[in-house]
Amino acid sequence: MVLCVWPGVWAGSAGAAQAEIGALPEFAVKSAYLYQFTLFVEWPEESLGNPSDPIVVCVLGDDPFGPFLDALTQKTSQSRPLQVRRVRQVRNAGDCHVLFISASERDRMVTILASLSHRRLLTVSDMEGFAGAGGIVEFVPVEKRVRFGINTEAARKAGLRISSKLLSLATIVSRGKSEGGEP
């Protein structure tokens, strides 16, 4: 299983955490990152519910992950089971903790982000300019590797705390620009 190899990757250098797109299918790599994000993000207690409630990872729009994301349901994160859902409308993402916004939603990206601005939700996408537009995590291909940028201000507004370990692997993005290279 692809996801089993990832915890060791995060313990290494930032260079080691930049997964090669060619070595594994791109969305297998991105699924593994989504799992890792659940380990290194802290949600406010009230948004997680009871200790036995799952952390819910959702995909809004067309699903590019397929079975790679479904493999998360065999995992736990922060002593909670993981659940995966696909949603077609933002209003159906009410119990999601992580929301991957698919490229199929590009024309509605700004509207979607505005409607989620009050939510305790980790928004993730691979759409160019996503983090600069107010999303929290943006996947970026760099030299055949999957990297990511994090908009720390958007995370703060969502009430999320992101581990310094995760931040050390990311490019920090502020509204409209990035610091430290790509995105």
For the cut 50, the answer to whether the pLDDT of residue 2 exceeds it is no
Mean pLDDT within 76-92: 96
**pTM reported for the whole predicted model:** 0.85
For the cut 80, the answer to whether the pLDDT of residue 22 exceeds it is no
Mean pLDDT within 76-81: 97
pLDDT digits (tens, 9 = 90+) for 108-145: 999 999 999 889 999 999 999 999 999 999 999 998 89
**pLDDT of res. 13:** 32
Alpha helices in 53-182 (DSSP H): 67-70, 109-116, 152-157, 164-167
Instruction: Place 3 in a pLDDT band, splitting at 50, 70 and 90.
Output: very low
Instruction: Place 61 in a pLDDT band, splitting at 50, 70 and 90.
Output: very high
Spatial distance between the Cα atoms of 154 and 30, rounded to a whole number of angstroms? 21
The dihedral through the CA atoms of 43, 148, 39, 167 has a sign that is: negative
CB contact at 8 A, 116 and 99: yes
**CA torsion angle 123 84 37 66 (round to 10):** -90
The amino acid present at 183, given as its one-letter code, is P
The CA distances from residue 102 to 65, 95, 154, 166, in Å, are: 10, 18, 19, 22
